[in-house]
C-alpha cells in the first residue's frame, strides 16, 4: 500500500472512458478516405497527444503539405456522429473505483489532453464529471504529454505536492508525463501494452482500474 498519498489524478481517454476504440474506428475511416499509409503507426504515436502535437507528428509522417485542419475537422465530425448516436461507455469498474477513492478521502483530479469542453460533456454524459475537484486540459497547456506540465498544474490546483500524488495513465506518452512530474505512476493499459522502458517508469501496471483498491 502506498503511504502519504493525498491525490489521484486521471487521464480520461482509455482510462475512464472507452473513447480510444471509437477513435481507432475513425482513424481507419480517414486513412481510407485520405489514402494514409502506416495508419497503425500513426495511431500509436498520437495517443495521449493534444491537437498541436498531433499536427506536428502528422506533418512529419505525411509531409508538410498534409491538410491537418481538414483531418481534425473531419475527425471531429465523425467522432460526434458516434458519440451522439451510440454514446461513449465507461471502462470496466470506473465508477466503483471512484466511489472507493472518494470514500477514502482522496482528492481527485483530471489531466487530459482533450479539450475542457469535450471532457466536461463526455464525463457528464457518463455521470462521473462531478467526482473530480478540478482538472487541466489539452487547450490549457503549452506543452503536451510526455511533458509533465499537465499533471503538475492539476497537482498545484489541488494544493498537493507531486510526491503525494498518483497519476493514472494508459499510454506511453501519458506514463512519461506522470513519471516526469514526480508522481507515483500507475498504468492501466488500454490499446498499448508497456515495453521495458515504460515498465521501469511505473509503480504498478494492471487492469481493470479497480487495481487501485489494492494500492490505495
188 band by pLDDT with thresholds 50, 70 and 90: very high
Confidence at 144, pLDDT banded by 50, 70, 90: confident
**Residue with C-alpha cell 498534409?**
66
Smallest CA-to-CA distance from 173 within 11, 3, 6 is with 11
Residue appearing with cell numbers 500524488: 165
Contacts of 119 (CB under 8 A, 6+ apart): 12, 110, 112, 129, 135, 137
Query: pLDDT: is 50 or 67 the higher one?
Result: 67
Q: Facing residues of 205 across strands?
A: 187
32 is catalytic: no
The pLDDT, as a whole number, for residue 47 is 80
pLDDT for res 44? 86
Give the whole-number percent of the chain exceeding pLDDT 90.
Answer: 90
Per-residue pLDDT tens over the stretch 145-167: 899 999 999 999 999 999 999 99
**In the predicted structure, residue 187 carries a pLDDT above the cut 80:** yes
What is d(CA 165, CA 109) in angstroms, rounded to the nearest whole number? 10
Report phi then psi at 202, rounded to 5: -105, 140
Q: Is the whole-model pTM more than 0.85?
A: yes
The answer to whether 82 and 22 are in contact (CB under 8 A) is yes
Beta bridge partners of 111: 136
CB 113 within 8 A of CB 153: no
* CA dist., res. 134 & res. 10, Å (int): 11
pLDDT exceeds 80 at position 49: no
Under CATH, what is the fold of the domain 7-18+89-215?
Answer: Rossmann fold (3.40.50)
Residue 5: its pLDDT value, please?
Answer: 98
pLDDT digits over 52-75, tens only? Answer: 889 999 999 999 999 999 999 999
Cβ(202)–Cβ(193) under 8 Å? no
Are 14 and 173 contacting, i.e. CB atoms less than 8 angstroms apart?
no
C-alpha cell at 44: 500509436
The predicted-structure confidence for 196-208, as pLDDT tens digits, reads as follows 999 999 999 999 9
101 in Cβ contact with 214 (< 8 Å):
no
Helices (H) and strands (E) in the chain, counts: 10, 6
User: Distance between CA 8 and CA 106 in Å, rounded?
Assistant: 7
Amino acid at each position: 500500500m502506498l503511504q502519504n498519498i493525498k491525490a489521484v489524478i486521471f487521464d480520461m481517454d482509455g482510462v475512464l472512458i472507452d473513447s480510444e476504440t471509437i477513435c481507432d474506428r475513425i482513424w481507419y475511416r480517414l486513412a481510407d478516405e485520405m489514402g494514409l499509409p502506416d495508419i497503425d503507426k500513426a495511431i500509436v504515436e498520437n495517443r495521449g497527444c493534444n491537437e498541436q502535437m498531433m499536427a506536428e507528428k502528422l506533418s512529419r509522417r505525411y509531409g508538410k503539405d498534409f491538410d491537418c485542419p481538414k483531418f481534425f475537422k473531419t475527425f471531429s465530425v465523425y467522432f460526434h456522429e458516434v458519440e451522439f448516436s451510440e454514446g461513449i461507455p465507461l471502462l470496466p469498474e470506473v465508477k466503483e473505483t471512484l466511489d472507493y477513492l472518494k470514500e477514502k478521502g482522496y482528492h481527485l483530479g483530471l489531466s487530459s489532453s482533450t479539450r475542457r469542453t469535450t471532457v466536461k460533456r463526455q464525463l457528464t454524459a457518463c455521470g462521473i464529471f462531478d467526482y473530480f475537484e478540478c482538472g487541466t486540459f489539452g487547450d490549457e497547456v503549452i506543452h503536451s504529454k510526455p511533458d509533465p506540465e499537465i499533471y503538475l498544474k492539476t497537482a498545484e490546483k489541488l494544493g498537493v505536492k507531486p510526491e503525494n500524488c498518483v497519476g493514472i495513465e494508459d499510454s506511453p506518452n501519458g506514463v512519461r508525463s506522470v513519471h516526469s512530474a514526480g508522481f507515483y505512476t500507475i498504468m492501466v493499459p488500454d490499446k498499448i501494452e508497456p515495453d521495458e522502458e515504460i515498465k521501469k517508469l511505473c509503480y504498478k501496471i494492471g487492469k481493470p482500474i479497480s487495481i487501485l483498491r489494492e494500492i490505495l
